[in-house]
Structure 1
C-alpha cells in the first residue's frame, strides 16, 4: 500500500470516528414493533452516539471506535428513543475494548459493554439477546442480511426517534478489497453501499449486521468518507466470528 493511500485512508476513517453522532440508515423503513429486541442505543451524557446489540444478559456488543464518544450508558427495550424509562431501560456500563484496537484503519474494531445489572430477559420481550456465531463462518456473496439503527434517513439529515432497518446484500470480500484498492484491515465483512442504494452512513457505528434474521455476524465499522449517496464502495463491518476466543473469555468470566 502506498504511503499516500495510507495517510488518505487514515484521514477518512478518523473523520468517520469523530462524527459518530447517531446512526443513519439509508433507504430503510421503520422497524416492526417487538422485533429486534436485542438492539441497544449506546449513549453519552448528550444522548445517542452509537448502536449496539445485546449478546448476553450481562453484555452489549458494539464498535471499539465508539469509545471516542465517551459512552456512559446503554438503553435497552425500546424502539423509540422518546420512550425511555431511565429506571428500567438505562444501564450504566464498563467498557471492554479489544486490546489490539488502535484505530479503525488497523481493524479489531470491536468492544463489549458490561452492564451494571443483568438485563431483564423475557420470552416475549421487551429484551432478548441475539445469537452470534459459535465458530468461524464465511458469508456468501449476495446473501441478504440487514442493518438497523436510529438516526437520519439521508446524508446530512437529522436523527429519527424510531428504529430504522434496511435489507442489504453481502458483498464478496475479494470484490470488496478490489473496490477499496486493497486498503481494508483484516477480519472484516462487506455488505451494502455498493451495487444498491441501501446501507449505513457515518455514525451508524456499532450496530449489527444480521443474517438469516437471527444471527449477528458483523459490527458496523466504516464507510467511505461522508458519502452516503450509494452506490460507491462497500460498507465495512467487523467480522464477529474472527474474535470468538476473546468474546467467549469475557462472556464466561463476566469481566474484561
Structure 2
C-alpha cells in the first residue's frame, strides 16, 4: 500500500499536470480569439511544450527528492504542517476544476464550458499557491509560540554546530599532542641509533655490505618500535646530526635506500 507521503506526491503530480493542461488550453483559446491561425498556434505550442516539459521535469524531480515539501516544524507551522492543509494545497487545481464546473452549469457551448473549467482551475490554483499559502506561512511565523520555538531551534542548532567544532578541535589537539609526545619520546630513545646512522653516513666505507646490514638492522628495530613514523624520525635525526657534526662534508641520504623494503618504507627514486 502507498504511504501517505507517496499518495500526496502522486496527487501533486496529477494536479500539476492538470493545471498545466488548463493553462495551455487558455493560451490556445486566447490566441485563436486574437485571430492567430492554427498553424502558428501549433508552432508556438511545440516550443512551449518543450519548455513546459523541462520545467515540469525539474518540478517533479524536486517533489520526488523531497525538496518541494520541506519538513515543517509543527510548533512553528500549526496549520500548514497538518495533513489536512497538505491535501487542500495539493488538490487546489482539482478544487478549481470543480468550482469552474459548477460555475459553467447551464452553458451549452463546449468551448466556453471547457474555458470556464480551465479558468476556475487557474484562478483557484493561483489564489491558493501564490496568495493564500505564503500569507498563512507568514502569519504562522509571527505567532509568539512560533517565534519562540524558532529562536530556540536556531539557538540549539548553533550550539550543536559550535559543540561539533569544539569536539573536532579537541580531537585534533589530542592527535597533535600525541604525535609531539611520541616524537619527543622517540628522540630520546632513538638518539644512540641516530648517532650510529650518522656515523655510517659520513664514515669512509670500506665494507659496503657490512654498513648496509648494520643500517638495515637499525631500520628494522625502528620499524618494530614505532612503524614508518618512527623510521622517518630516526632518519631525520641521523641526517641532522651528520650535518651538525660534519658541516664541511656533503651528506647524502643513503638511509632511504638502505631501508627500502623494510615495512612500508619505500625509497624515492633519484631522477
State the structure with bigger RCO (CA 8 A, min sep 6), 1 or 2: 1
Normalising TM by the smaller chain, what interval? under 0.3
TM-score (norm 2): 0.19
Which structure is larger by alpha-carbon Rg, 1 or 2? 2
> Quick check: which one's helix share is greater?
2
TM-score (norm 1): 0.20
